[in-house]
Each structure stands twice: as C-alpha cells, then as structure tokens.
C-alpha cells in the first residue's frame, strides 16, 4: 500500500450534518410512541446510569483521552504495542490431584497452546498441612497435592521452567511453596534470574473469603518483606505479593467494589512495606493483581482500564517511577454466574468474559472450563476453554491491536466514572483505618452484602436471568457425572507418610527466607515449614461466597432426590381458559416459571367453562394448578373457576397467572386462589413454598 493511499481525508464526512441531541431524543420518542427516552437508561449495581447513546462531549474533556498505549495514565495499557507486541499469556489452571496427574495434563496443554504454567494447590496445602495430617476430603481437592521438592520433580518433569512463567495458587501457603520451588530450582541448577514466577499470597482477600488466617497482618508483612528482599537480590523476575479482586466478586460484589477493595488492599500493603524501609520501586514491582471477569462486557472492559489508571496514580503519589506505575493484571472468568444445570451455557458466558478481559488489556488469563462447578475439568472441557483464548488471539486477531476500546465515547466515559466511584470507595476504606480495620469492623462485608442481596433478589424475581436455571430450564437434560480418578487419595496419603518417615527434619529452624529454602532443600515438607510460620489464629466475619444459581439449583436437586425416592415427578396443571390465543402467552410463562423448580407442566388447548376446567384439573393427578387466561376471562369466570377447582381438589395449591387489581385479587383469594404468578412475583419464594408444602423440600 502506497503512502498516498494511507493518507485518509478525515473530513470526508463533513458534508453530513451532525444531529443535535435534542433531535435524536425527539426521533427516538416518536419511535417509542410517546414513551420517554429516560426509559432507555440502565441503572447498574455500580451506581452508574448507562445512557442509550454517548457523544463526544461525554469523553472529550477526560484527562486521559490524549494518552497513548504504554504511557501517561496507562489506561490504554502498559505496553506501547499492547497485545500486538506481547499477547496476554494463556494461563489455564490445570487440576491434577497428584503431581503425576498434573504433569501428564500439563504436557498435553503446553503442546496445545498453553503459554503460562498455572498451578492451583489442594485444600490441604492451602491449610498448611501435609496430606497425611489433613482431612482426607481436602487432599487433591481443587488442586494438586504437594509435600516436598520431590513433588516438583514429578509435576514439572520434562518442562523447561525458564521458558514459561509460573503462577502459584496456594492461599496463605504460597510464599512457603515459592521457597520449595526455589529449592527445587537450586537442585536442578537453574539460573533463578531466568525464572518468571508469581508466588505471592493475598492476606486480605484470603482472610475475607475464608474468615481465618494462621497469622496476623504483621506476620504477613514479615513474609512480604523477607520475600521482597530476597527476590531483589537473587531473582528479579519473581513477584511475591498478590492482591485479588476475586474474593469480593465471588461474594456478589459490583465492579466498583471489586476494584475499590483490591486497590485498598494494595495501598495498605504498599504503605506498610514503605514504612518498613522498602523502597517504592522494589515494593511496587513485587505486587501483581488478579481480578474476576464478570458478565457485563463493557463494564468489565472499563474495570481493567480503570484499574491501571488508578494504580498508576497511586504509585505516582508514592514517588514511583514510570516503570513502577505499570500494573500487572491476571484475570479469571467469574465463578459467580456459572451453573451446574445446563453447564454448556457456561461456554458462552466464559467467551464473552474472556473477550472483555482481552480488550481491557490484561496480562494473563484463565478461562474456566464449562464443567468447573460440577467436577474437576476433563480433557475436553480444558481444550474448549484453552482454545477460547487462542481463537480470540489468532482468529479474532485481538493479538494484533493495542487497546481496541480506546476512543469509544461509551467506554472512555464508563472507564472514568468507574474509576471515580472506585476511588471514592477506596477513600471510605481509608476513613475506616485501612483494609485490615475495614475487614475487622465488617465495613467490607456489609458493603458487599448490600449489593449481593440486590443481585439475589433480581435473580429470584427473574429480573436477572440465568439461562438454563431460572429461565428456560431443560428438565430432560442429562447431568454431568464425576470422573474416576487415576490414583486414589488414600494412595497419595500413604506415599506422603512413607516419605516423611524417611526424612527427619525435626531440628530445622526458620528465621529467614533462606532458612525456609534450605529446609526444603534438606527434605522438609510443606506442613513442617508452615508450622513455623503461623503465630496466632485471626478470625473475622467472612464474605458470603456464593454462585447466583445456587438457590434455584438446590430446588432442582431436591426435586431430583424426590423423584429418585418416589418414582414420580410432581406436576403442575395449567387450567387454561378459552382458545389458545387467549391463554398461550401466560401458559408458556407459567411453564417456565415452575420448571425453574423442577416441576413439569400439564398443558391443554383450553376450556370454555368452569365445570370443564375443574373436572380436568381434578383428574390430572397434579399437585398444583395455575389458572391461565386473559384479563377479560378472569373478570368473567375467574372466581367461579377457582371456587370449583378448590371444591373438587381442596388439597391442591392453586395459582393464577397475572397480577389482577386489588379488588379482583381479593375476590379470587376468597374463591380459593393461594398465590399469583406474574413478572414481578418472587419465583424462588413461590417455588420453595410449593416444594415444602408437597414434601419435596425437607
């Protein structure tokens, strides 16, 4: 392409007049047939009102609009070429209950596009216990079982650990696990300056999620200080301080809350380390962030852009350099909105989430396999989730652009507004004495609970939809089954016991980080070293970790158990009034409404008289009936239909589809209607009452 052809006349559209906002509003209201345009505004859980259209004046005044990628506020990314220079790392979590299983799966995934080694460790390790000392249910659960550096030799056998960044996930035990990894690297004669490792723990995030910590904040700072000083001297590409947003997102937090509380945690740790004499350059470069990716595409894009802008401002205030201002972001698709029922829909959810993170400019990403809520992911689900990232990079060509959302008036305005609200929340945390105090006095928990409860109510009334769960459930779906593991947990426990019996490390002393590394080099176990770390148990009120679909899933699971025990699924009879066009819309609505609780509906073409519908209802064998018809039919025969149904089926729960006037509703209740089913009704509460009344829900 010649240079002449590359010169684009930016005034080419100048002949077209730019419409005024008033003209647009007038045209829209005409198309809405008199409905005011403010009905098109959307109110979010972040307290942000989204407009139906954004104009130049919504963003042109923002200070960051003149910034280029890799400079200024870093809102457009920390690299000048963005993904076109260095694409985000494909950092899929690999679940292997044992080191052998992990190694087998890791090799397969590396051959198929994995570019970062992401290792979640089991609950035993996260609790600081060896497999033979932990509850057997925690061994191999949600991650790899680990004991000593011998396990590193197995888990990473045949892998060039200098070629791939390594991401360790073990809660409070991560700094100790990092020491074991460094001991392993010594044994293998690996140049530690060639290693890139993310080996930190998030004290505040883990405390918020689990409600307990094996040591207090001062002890956590000791570990942060020791690991920072060690890596500055010996391994410049290792980060040792993690700040997470996921714990707050998993409890139902908004994007503002996830960002605000994560920033608050980062500032408190940063300030504490600087107070201990660690320079801002060293401290800032040790910190990396991990955020959840929610389902609101543009809100999530704005969240990641806002995070980089806020963090750059904070480091600047501490006196940090341009390099220190660059925020590293790892992202993980949300667990909050994933489902056990109709789990294949999770593929669609994670795809849009991954797109948001890629456009938002994250540095590494895990896309959760669709079966994660049900079981340890299998090879098929791992492949699909891994390929989601590869397709976004290679086929959607998101690895060819830098900040593709930059310049969008909508995204730029949303980025700024989200940053302002997150900053305001950060200042509130500061007023409470910082993140440590805010967690202890329940400010964080209550703040998130307010939003989480609003979210939950919206799911219960089905204002917010979960496809396959509270909307459009498939009652005939075949549930996913758990996989048989290749090696029993009991076998793993025995292996660990045998190893420990041959390695006496009872005399170890740990005062420095080098002592910790040497202990592992001499055969110490994770449990042994962790026993030297804790100083006292800290307890706070936890966040309420949940998935949005859990309440409806419990109803479906209760129904499945009931059917297994009794052989028959309780059914709801649709008492349809009049011909099909008169009742179909409400009958279809009712079928979906009760299906969310596992109830099947018995439908028909409609009845013309109260006698006919009452007789059909009593003969249906259903445990409940719903009168479905037009408003006119309710006025004409609604009360008589209800009366006759109750006379012939007195123990049957009776509903009416619709939200009649108060006067008519009173008459229908007297005639026998128990409840009304409509768009504003609390679907979950109604289903719970029906299941309890019929012995489905104990």
User: Residues 285-320: pLDDT tens digits?
Assistant: 999 999 999 999 999 999 999 999 999 999 999 999
Split at pLDDT 50, 70, 90, the class of 7 is low
- The whole-number pLDDT of residue 1 equals 35
- The whole-number pLDDT of residue 3 equals 42
- The whole-number pLDDT of residue 32 equals 87
Q: For the chain, what is the mean pLDDT?
A: 94
Most confident of 15-19, 507-511, 639-643: 639-643
Can you give the pTM of this predicted structure?
0.93
Share of the chain above pLDDT 90, in %: 84
Rounded to the nearest 5 percent, the helix, strand and coil shares of the chain are: 50, 10, 40
Q: What is the mean pLDDT of residues 94-117?
A: 95
- Is residue 555's pLDDT more than 60? yes
Split at pLDDT 50, 70, 90, the class of 616 is very high
Q: What is the DSSP string of 446-483?
A: HHHHHHHHHHHHHHHTTSS--BTTTBS--TTPPPP-PP
Comparing 175-179, 385-389, 532-536, 589-593, the range with the smallest average pLDDT is 532-536
Terminal-residue alpha carbon distance, the chain: 72
Query: pLDDT tens across 21-72, in order?
Result: 888 888 888 888 878 888 899 999 999 999 999 999 899 889 899 899 999 9
Nearest-angstrom CA–CA distance, 453 and 436 = 24
> Which DSSP symbol is given to 376?
S
> Which DSSP symbol is given to 39?
G
Query: pLDDT tens across 509-554, in order?
Result: 899 999 999 999 999 999 999 999 988 899 999 999 999 999 999 9
Pair of tokens at residue 644: 């006759």
- Is residue 5's pLDDT more than 80? no
- Is residue 485's pLDDT more than 70? no
Q: Residue 601: what are its φ and ψ, rounded to 5°?
A: -110, 140
Give start-end residues of each CATH 3.40.50.280 domain in the chain. Answer: 550-693
Contact 213, 537 (CB under 8 A): yes
Comparing 57-71, 89-103, 495-509, the range with the smallest average pLDDT is 495-509
Give the closest residue to 676 by CA, choosing from 642, 650, 647: 642
CATH among 3.20.20.240, 3.40.50.10790, 3.20.20.70, 3.20.10.10 for 63-472+534-539 = 3.20.20.240
Give start-end residues of each CATH 3.20.20.240 domain in the chain. Answer: 63-472+534-539
Contact 625, 696 (CB under 8 A): no
Q: What is the mean pLDDT of residues 252-272?
A: 98
Give Cα separations from 393 to 34, 78, 138, 304 (angstroms): 45, 18, 36, 18
- Is residue 487's pLDDT more than 60? no
> Which DSSP symbol is given to 542?
P
Beta bridge partners of 323: none
**How many other C-beta atoms are found inside a 10 Å radius of the C-beta of residue 266?**
27
Instruction: Report the SS3 class of residue 113.
Output: coil
- Is residue 10's pLDDT more than 90? no
- The whole-number pLDDT of residue 63 equals 87
Nearest-angstrom CA–CA distance, 609 and 603 = 16
Query: How would you label 176-193 residue by residue, b for 16+ Cβ within 10 Å and e otherwise?
Result: bbbbbbbbbbeeeeeebe
- For domain 550-693, the question of CATH label 3.30.70.3040 is answered with no
Comparing 25-29, 100-104, 564-568, the range with the smallest average pLDDT is 25-29
Q: What is the mean pLDDT of residues 382-401?
A: 96
């Amino acid at each position: 392409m010649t240079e002449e052809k590359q010169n684009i006349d930016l005034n080419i559209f100048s002949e077209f007049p730019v419409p005024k906002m008033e003209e647009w509003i007038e045209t829209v209201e005409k198309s809405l047939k008199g409905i005011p345009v403010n009905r098109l505004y959307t109110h979010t859980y972040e307290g942000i009102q989204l407009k139906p259209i954004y104009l130049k004046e919504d963003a042109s005044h923002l200070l960051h609009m003149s910034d280029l990628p890799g400079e200024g506020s870093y809102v457009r990314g920390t690299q000048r070429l963005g993904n076109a220079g260095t694409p985000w790392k494909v950092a899929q979590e690999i679940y292997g209950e044992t080191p052998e299983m992990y190694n087998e799966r890791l090799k397969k995934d590396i051959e198929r596009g994995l570019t970062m080694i992401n290792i979640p460790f089991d609950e035993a390790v996260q609790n600081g216990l060896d497999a033979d000392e932990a509850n057997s249910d925690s061994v191999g659960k949600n991650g790899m079982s680990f004991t000593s550096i011998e396990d590193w030799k197995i888990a990473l056998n045949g892998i060039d650990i200098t070629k791939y960044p390594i991401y360790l996930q073990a809660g409070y035990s991560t700094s100790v696990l990092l020491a074991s990894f460094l001991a392993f690297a010594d044994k293998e004669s690996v140049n530690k300056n060639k290693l890139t490792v993310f080996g930190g723990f998030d004290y505040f995030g883990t405390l918020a999620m689990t409600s307990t910590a094996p040591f207090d904040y001062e002890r956590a700072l000791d570990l942060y200080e020791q690991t920072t000083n060690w890596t500055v001297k010996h391994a410049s590409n290792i980060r040792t301080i993690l700040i997470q947003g996921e714990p707050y997102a998993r409890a139902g937090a908004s994007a503002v809350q996830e960002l605000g509380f994560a920033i608050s945690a980062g500032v408190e740790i940063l300030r504490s380390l600087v107070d201990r004499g660690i320079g801002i350059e060293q401290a800032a470069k040790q910190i990396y962030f991990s955020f959840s990716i929610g389902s609101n595409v543009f809100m999530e894009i704005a969240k990641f852009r806002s995070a980089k802008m806020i963090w750059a401002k904070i480091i600047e205030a501490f006196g940090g350099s341009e390099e220190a201002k660059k925020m590293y972001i790892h992202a993980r698709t949300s667990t909050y909105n994933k489902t056990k029922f109709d789990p294949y829909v999770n593929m669609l959810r994670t795809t849009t989430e991954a797109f948001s993170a890629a456009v938002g400019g994250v540095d590494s990403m895990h896309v959760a396999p669709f079966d994660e809520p049900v079981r340890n992911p299998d090879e098929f689900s791992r492949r699909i989730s891994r390929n989601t990232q590869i397709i976004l990079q290679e086929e959607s060509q998101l690895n060819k652009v830098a900040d593709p959302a930059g310049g969008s008036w909508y995204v730029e305005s949303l980025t700024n507004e989200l940053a302002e609200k997150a900053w305001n929340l950060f200042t509130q945390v500061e007023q409470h004495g910082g993140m440590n105090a805010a967690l202890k006095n329940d400010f964080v928990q209550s703040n998130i609970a307010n939003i989480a409860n609003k979210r939950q109510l919206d799911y219960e009334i089905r204002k917010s939809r979960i496809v396959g769960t509270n909307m459009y459930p498939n009652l005939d779906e075949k549930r996913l089954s758990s996989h048989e593991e290749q090696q029993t947990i009991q076998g793993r426990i025995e292996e660990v016991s045998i190893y420990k019996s041959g390695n006496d490390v009872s005399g170890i002393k740990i005062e420095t980080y080098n002592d910790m590394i040497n202990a592992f080099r001499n055969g110490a176990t994770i449990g042994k070293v962790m026993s030297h770390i804790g100083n006292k148990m800290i307890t706070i009120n936890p966040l309420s970790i949940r998935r949005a679909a859990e309440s409806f899933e419990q109803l479906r699971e209760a129904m499945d158990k009931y059917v297994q025990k009794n052989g028959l699924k309780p059914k709801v009879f649709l008492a349809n009034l009049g011909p099909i066009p008169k009742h179909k819309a409400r009958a279809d609505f009712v079928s979906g409404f009760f299906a969310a609780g596992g109830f099947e509906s018995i439908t028909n073409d409609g009845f013309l008289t109260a006698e006919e519908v009452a007789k059909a209802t009593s003969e249906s064998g259903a445990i409940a009936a719903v009168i479905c018809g037009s408003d006119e039919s309710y006025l004409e025969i609604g009360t008589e239909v209800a009366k006759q149904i109750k006379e012939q089926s007195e123990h049957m729960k009776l509903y009416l589809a619709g939200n009649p006037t108060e006067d008519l509703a009173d008459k229908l209740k007297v005639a026998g209607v128990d409840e009304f089913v409509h768009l504003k009704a609390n679907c979950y509460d109604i289903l719970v009452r029906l299941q309890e009344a019929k012995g489905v829900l104990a």
